[in-house]
A and B are shown apart, each in its own frame.
Chain A
Amino acid sequence: MDEDGLLEEAYGLSQDQRAELLLGALVCVVVALLVAMIAFVFHEAWPSFAHNGVGWFGPGGSVDGQIQAIFTSGELNQVAVWTFHAWPLIWSTILITAAAVAIAFVGSLFVAVFMVEFAPDRLKRVLEPVVRLLASVPSVIYGLLGVLVIVPFIGDHLITEHEKASVTPVIQLSGSSVLAAVLILTVMIAPIMIAVFADGLRAVPRGWLEGSLALGINRWRTFWKVGVRTARPVLVAGTVLATARALGEAVMLSMVSGGVGFSPNPADGLIFLFEPSRPLAATIIANTEQLSSPPMKHTLYAIAAVLLFSAAMLSLIGWAAKQPMKRYGVIA
């Protein structure tokens, strides 16, 4: 205490104030690091956006060919090539993410309702750890499962020879497909949704449900009309969280979705489900060895910037969605 006393006299700071300053400094350092990271990614991404303008997000030509040209120009110290039209990659990301989130949302909502309200106690006790386990299985294990089980199954049993022959001039249908990616991504993000949904549903005040039950509404209707409706902000928050995870999933999708920058067209009929594609995050993984070429580096950073921007927007939506819950005084 002597030393403390001396310091207090010397600087006019108590032990508490010093601790607060120290922790505050730590927080400032971490926040500064994160802000610097965001600024740095956008700074590195800028050349690619600047050279392509809005066309960066649009369609045009073969995206794989463009990547190759960008890489070669930088590697051989030629005049840098910048032309890059990322639409096939963006479309693949949207298609796979939206399909997986939509399926997982419906499934997770039912499972969460079941887990919170209708499952027998013994099943409830099993379901909770199972959800947590599935949420923590590493994505590379899901990828391995996909590439060794799901992809060969789709390739051998679901795609007919006729379908394979019909698209041979353009792409090969091996089983690495949108369908495989969506299936595995759904299983990956469903546990995250279920965990968040279940927390929200549990936080619904018991009295509100009992009020409805007392009016003679049955448990099923009560829970959907009162419970699920009250928890709507949490449903949005959980969906946002799962969407962020799906958008950023790189390793599993690079293993399962097929490494071709091709945009499957739903107008072609159901065959688009069997066509390969490659989302944005998987493109970064697939091209890490080409970082040595400066224009390629900036192009990959531009992809990362798009992902980062989407993640920021999603967390903004999630934050906004949580506000009404706080107004009710329900904490979740």
Chain B
Amino acid sequence: MSALGASLSPSQSPPGRRTGASPSWRLSDRIGLGFAWLLGLLFCAIAASIVLYFLIEGIQYLRPSLLVTNPTASVNESQTGGFLDPLLGTVIVALMAMAVAIPTGIGIAVWLSEFGRPSALARVTESCIEMLAGTPSVVLALFGTILFEAPALGFLSQTSRGIVLGQSFFAASAMLSLVGLPMVVATVREGLQVIPSHVREASYAVGKTKIATTRRVLLPAARPSLITGSMLGLGRVIGDTAVVLLLLGGTLTFSNANSTPVLGTLRGTGDTLTGYIYYNAPTGDGNQPSKAYAAAFVLMLIVLALNLGVDFALRRSRARLWN
């Protein structure tokens, strides 16, 4: 590899014909560049092998029937069914968490970027959001277990013999929205801040109020970063396992709280793809690797799709640079 670096380096060195005191590209420089090439290619190779490994294993084990049947507990792999409910669980949790995180995140970002008074509160908010971004999701999950066991929040989960269980789609989604929130705030805020002030001034000049300017001019202009932030947050929410393990109950299928059609499901427990993979990994209780591979494949596809979405949104936002 260092030979590759050395052979490439001369073409990249500055074209000047300098002689004397500073001879260009000493041996250590060449070795360094070769090392950078090696690590760059190694990084690509690792990424490619992870994705390819899961695609190959996934295609090998994924049957269409897995997507439409529900999991059942069994030792025999042919009888454990598919993962319809975990898949739906992922969708439900993602929708509910983002339904909270996106509006809240936009609100906080707008306030930080456009209002931000008093500045002490702005600074506190910034550090709180930053700290939330660094908080391990397992801590959020642990906090959630006690929060949702409070009798006052009993209507969000099941109650049996006067004890609130505290595990439900509501509980998991509420905590997952905190997992997604910092991403949304950071990205939207950045998107608002790169809009130059003359755009705002033009809007004020035609008599628009600040909030009208934000709604009609700034937010539409920042839409690519809004989409990027939402997708990054969504990726975090979908990939999170700790919150799901602690707050969703980890029952393989939906276990409704009562017979009310929608509310009963949301107040009941269930599972998501990440929880299903954890359960079926050799370290989990299910221990059926082929099912775990198939579910991981589906999860990877979702993540890949989200990434393509982010790429697309970023390209759009780069096409519209403010100059």
Chain A interface residues (CB < 8 Å from chain B): 14-16, 19-20, 23-24, 26-28, 30-31, 34-35, 37, 40-41, 44, 107, 110-111, 113-115, 118-119, 123, 126-127, 129-134, 136-141, 143-145, 147-149, 187, 190, 194, 213, 216-221, 224, 241, 244, 247-251, 254-255, 259, 281, 284-285, 288, 291, 297, 300-301, 304, 307-308, 311-312, 314-315, 318-319
* Most-contacted residue by chain A among B128, B181, B212, B306 (CB, 10 A): B128
Asked whether, in the complex, the Cβ of A37 is within 8 Å of the Cβ of B143, the reply is: yes
- Distance between A128 CB and nearest chain B CB, rounded to angstroms: 9
Bound-state CA distance A284–B210 (Å) is 47
Interface string of B106-135 (1 = CB under 8 A from A): 011011100101000100110110111111
Bound-state CA distance A255–B210 (Å) is 51
> Chain B interface secondary structure, helix, strand, loop or mixed?
helix
Bound-state CA distance A140–B300 (Å) is 11
Bound-state CA distance A129–B43 (Å) is 12
Asked whether, in the complex, the Cβ of B306 is within 8 Å of the Cβ of A136, the reply is: yes
Determine the residue in chain A with the shortest Cβ distance to B193: A331
Asked whether, in the complex, the Cβ of A251 is within 8 Å of the Cβ of B43, the reply is: no
Complex A-B: 17 CB contacts under 8 Å: A14-B209, A15-B209, A20-B210, A27-B107, A31-B121, A37-B140, A40-B146, A114-B36, A127-B40, A136-B303, A141-B54, A141-B296, A187-B46, A251-B241, A285-B245, A304-B142, A315-B134
**Interface flag for B50 (CB, 8 Å):** yes
**Interface flag for B321 (CB, 8 Å):** no
Asked whether, in the complex, the Cβ of B239 is within 8 Å of the Cβ of A311, the reply is: no
Asked whether, in the complex, the Cβ of A247 is within 8 Å of the Cβ of B36, the reply is: no
Interface size class of B (residues with CB under 8 A): 35 or more
* Most-contacted residue by chain B among A127, A141, A187 (CB, 10 A): A141
Knowing A23-B111, A139-B239, A218-B24 are in contact, say whether A31-B125 is a contact too (CB < 8 A): yes
Residues of B within 8 A of A250 (CB): 136-138, 242
Asked whether, in the complex, the Cβ of A133 is within 8 Å of the Cβ of B14, the reply is: no
Asked whether, in the complex, the Cβ of B14 is within 8 Å of the Cβ of A118, the reply is: no
Knowing A219-B12, A285-B245, A304-B142 are in contact, say whether A311-B135 is a contact too (CB < 8 A): yes
